[in-house]
Structure 1
Amino acid sequence: MSTYWGRPKLKIPKSKSEWIWDFIGYLCFFGSIIVLLYVWRTLPEEVPAHYNAAGEVDRWGTKAELFILPVVGVFLALIMTVLEKFPEAHNYPKRFNESNAEQFYLNSRKLVNQIKNICLILFSLILFESISIALGWGVRFGIWFLPITIIGTVIPIVFGIVKMKRIK
């Protein structure tokens, strides 16, 4: 067993839940990019570029700006995938030791995986929202998007912290 950062380097296979989260996150993300490419020629030159807290468009921009979310999403996915591969580099409480390392690593890695995929799903939804508004499809998330986003990202973090507190 090798060590990094003074912690054991363990080979822990991806859990079923991590595979499921990855499948859903990447499916939504790449699906939204495919939709963008499919409708590209029909998009008007000016599309929604920013939303306020009520879910209303408060800035319009060029349709090329729609590629910002996919680019940021790819960057975020790459960085968080690297973080998933090195759970020994994550921050742990003082009670961390070799006997509980696997539990801490798996819990922390699952949390990073969930947050990565939730971000990819949210980016997909925002991209789809912008496309649907630009094309007049009538699909709108409105005022519910921000609270759902906050709740959807906070809940996994809270559950991850609770699970970490239970590790002896």
Structure 2
Amino acid sequence: MWRRIQKYYPPGLDILTFSVMFGIFIYVFFMYGKLPDEIPIHFNTAGEADDWGNKATLFGLMLIHFHAVVLMFVLNYFLIIRSADTVDSLQLINIPFVNKEELTEEQIGMVKANIARMFAITNLILSFMFSVIYYDIIQHALGEPDKLGFGFEVLLVLLFIPIFYYVRKTYRDVKTR
């Protein structure tokens, strides 16, 4: 499995993604007993808590986090990385203004590599975003800061950078060769 992934991007990205996820899960479990019964569960656009709920809500958030990260990894691995280097492997990938049937095997490989990297980097940023959310919720519940931290907004912007970059790179790679 790691050899196949290594063909497209460093497997350390996936290891880091899962490490961040499980590391924050450990933090949540460690801090759970110290939390009050009601914690902030929603923040408005100004970053202020505007809805409160049971601290068990963190477990639902952890389930969503786990599901999103695993699903992104599985989709990346089975639909992109493990698929054959044929036009049929690009069925789920939309490249506007490109006739996929005319792509060479080399171009198909480049498209798959770009999409696989995009998925891996996006998954890592997503895991960091969830981690910032957990941390801010817990800190707010313990009375530390009064707003959702600045890190969330930065990561939200960073989430779209690899998407735009790799879509543009894929289009340029296909059109120039």
Runs of 4+ in 1 over 6 A off after TM superposition: none
Which of the numbers 8, 21, 24 marks the counterpart of 2:13? 21
1:29/1:49 CA distance change after superposition, 3 Å? same
Q: Which residue of 2 aligns with 1:149?
A: 155
1:49 to 4, 16, 41: 41
Instruction: Say whether 1:161 aligns with 2:160.
Output: no
Indicate yes or no: 2:121 matched with 1:129: no
In structure 1, the gaps of 5 or more residues are: 1-10
Q: Cα deviations across residues 98-135 of structure 1 (Å, max 9, x unaligned)?
A: 23111111100111111112111101110111011111
Matched with 2:63 is 71
How far apart are residue 139 of structure 1 and its match?
8.1
- Specify whether residues 112 and 90 from structure 1 end up closer, same or farther in structure 2 by C-alpha distance, changes over 3 A only: farther
* Structure 2 gap segments, 5+ residues each: 81-88
Identity %: 25
Following the alignment from structure 2 to structure 1, what is the Cα–Cα distance between the partners of residues 110 and 8? 16
1:39 is aligned to 2:31: yes
- 8 Å contact kept, 2:48–2:148: no
Distance 1:15 1:129, change over 3 A: farther
Q: What is the root-mean-square deviation of aligned Cα atoms in Å?
A: 2.3
Pick from 101, 112, 137: which aligns with 2:108? 101
SS of alignment partner, residue 47 of structure 1: strand
1:62 corresponding residue in structure 2: 54
Contact 1:129 1:139 in 2 (8 A): no
Task: Tell me how far 1:97 sits from its aligned partner.
Answer: 3.5
